[in-house]
């Protein structure tokens, strides 16, 4: 395990009742609050896809939030693929 400030990138797929419940907007709020860059978007199959990049503790905190999401969401699964950081600078909704 590296230093606490290591940058990491998580490519995340969230399933369940996650569209139409402000999941993207609240993911952006969480990311901004935690200092995480990346993006979030709805997928045609009903899942939400996100990329979370930043310091390891911040990305892990944002991932924990993704397991329950905003009020109204019912998360049934969170898949995470770890990737090399690509230098994301801000967080945006796609």
| Identified catalytic residue from 24, 41, 47, 89 | 24
Q: Is 42 a catalytic residue?
A: yes
State phi, psi for 58 to the nearest 5 degrees: -70, -40
List, as one string, the DSSP characters of 33-69: HHT-EEEEEE-TTS-EEEEEEEEHHHHHHHHHHHTT-
| Identified catalytic residue from 9, 41, 42, 74 | 42
Q: Is 9 a catalytic residue?
A: no
Catalytic positions, please? 24, 42
């Amino acid at each position: 395990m590296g230093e606490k400030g290591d940058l990491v990138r998580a490519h995340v797929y969230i399933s369940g009742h996650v569209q139409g419940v402000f999941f993207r907007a609240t993911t952006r709020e969480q990311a901004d609050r935690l200092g995480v860059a990346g993006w979030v978007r709805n997928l045609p199959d009903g899942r939400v896809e996100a990329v979370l990049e930043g310091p390891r503790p911040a990305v892990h905190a944002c991932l924990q939030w993704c397991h329950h999401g905003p009020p109204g969401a019912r998360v049934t699964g969170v898949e995470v693929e770890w990737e090399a950081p690509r230098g994301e600078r801000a967080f945006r909704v796609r």
